[in-house]
Amino acid sequence: MEGSPIDIIIFAPLAPILGVLLFWFIQLLFIESEKYLLSKIRHKHEPLCRFTNFLGILFQTICHALGYTVTKSGISDFYISVNYGRVAPKKEKKGIFEWISNVFLSIGPFFIPAFILLICLFFGGVNFEIITPSQVLELKYTFGEQITTFGTSLHSFANGFFGFLLNIDLLHPGHFGFLLLLIFLGMGMRPSYIGEQKQEKVDMLYDLKNIWSLIFRKPSYFIILFLTAYVFFYVSLFLDQNWYVALFSIFGWLSIIAIISLIVADMILLLIKTTDEILGLWKFMPYITMPVSYILVRLLFFYFPTDYTNIISLLVMILSTSLITYLLLKTKADRFKTEIDIKMSEKKDKGENNER
């Protein structure tokens, strides 16, 4: 084993932690982009926006309930609505048990729903593996080698995940169900607001403030958790197994799943926002084009089979939908009406902010 003792003992354990924090921060940025798109379509699609808010509150409330379950506090009351969610424990536990429950509430929604999709991928036969340092480099356990191992593990998983998505069969019930779960996760990663009167806006600063409060309200618990991670790293180092990177690699995989789900959700919201500019019934043409083009290509390859049936069908569907949308924007869009709708939406948002 080479590398300075200070690097191995102090800095190397930080590498996977910093990697996870980076991907989590990217999640936050994509969540903000999604909320921006939702704000642009809210004046025409209020039910959809309320549904996404419900999904976000649902995931958040389930994570809180899971926290009470893990700490054996039990659940006496579970309430969920479009605007608000609440979980009451059977036993009011204080100290570290309460803190752990709050960790599930504040951080759980970013990772736990994605874990469900990770399990689906595992049972769906998607090939991915945890890379160990010996598979990447001859040396082991320095900061640079830990971050390289972490990145290589994420790259390996991303290749398998993207390969699955590019070859997804939309006529397969399991694949189609996974795609719906992916969309629901992206749409409901976080709620846009909480409270019956939309009194509290949920944004990036809101999440960071809650996590900051969680850490500094009980700094001793955070320090214990941090030291536990270091001890786990030293045990992995002693046994030459590097379970430490393996654990944080899984958190990285969850972030990748969440980011891709947010990108898919952003694409759907962008399509909705774009088609709103098209006049009359023509606005439904892109949505009709998607299933029709996909089924026609699949029928074609039924008689002329090829190894790339799924990926070609998916690409044709995306390209044909994009082309139809572009042509309709050029020929059937009402620019004047769109500008008025946008201004009305901005005024409505300003009015809601003033009420808050």
Q: Given a cut of 80, is residue 346 above it in pLDDT?
A: no
Residue 269: CB atoms within 10 Å: 24
Of 108-112, 165-169, 231-235, 345-349, minimum mean pLDDT range: 345-349
* pLDDT tens per residue across span 200-258: 778 888 888 888 888 888 889 889 999 999 999 999 888 877 789 889 999 999 999 99
Find out whether 35 and 191 touch, Cβ atoms under 8 Å: no
Mean per-residue pLDDT over the chain, rounded: 85
Residue 344 vs residue 250, higher pLDDT? 250
Mean pLDDT calculated for residue range 268-277: 92
Distance separating alpha carbons of residues 325 and 273, to the nearest angstrom: 11
CA 41 distance to own-chain centroid: 21
Distance separating alpha carbons of residues 36 and 173, to the nearest angstrom: 32
- Give the burial class of 127: count Cβ atoms within 10 A of its Cβ; 0-12 exposed, 13-18 middle, 19 or more buried: exposed
In the chain, the percentage of residues whose pLDDT exceeds 70 is 87
Specify the DSSP class assigned to residue 172: S
Of 186-190, 193-197, 236-240, 320-324, minimum mean pLDDT range: 193-197
Residue 108: CB atoms within 10 Å: 21
* pLDDT tens per residue across span 135-177: 544 446 788 888 888 998 899 889 889 988 999 999 989 899 9
267 Cβ contact list (under 8 Å, min separation 6):
none
Nearest alpha carbon to residue 176 among 307, 294, 50, 299: 294
Of 60-69, 78-87, 138-147, 279-288, minimum mean pLDDT range: 138-147
* pLDDT tens per residue across span 212-223: 888 888 889 889
Mean pLDDT calculated for residue range 275-280: 88
Query: C-alpha distances in angstroms, 94 versus 15, 87, 91, 107, 347?
Result: 33, 16, 10, 19, 45
Q: Given a cut of 80, is residue 195 above it in pLDDT?
A: no
Residue 2 vs residue 20, higher pLDDT? 20
Residue whose entry in the numeric block shows the structure tokens 């994420």: 154
Residue 245: CB atoms within 10 Å: 30
Rg (CA), the chain: 23
Distance separating alpha carbons of residues 222 and 141, to the nearest angstrom: 24
pLDDT at 183: 94
Q: What predicted TM-score, i.e. pTM, was given to this entire model? A: 0.86
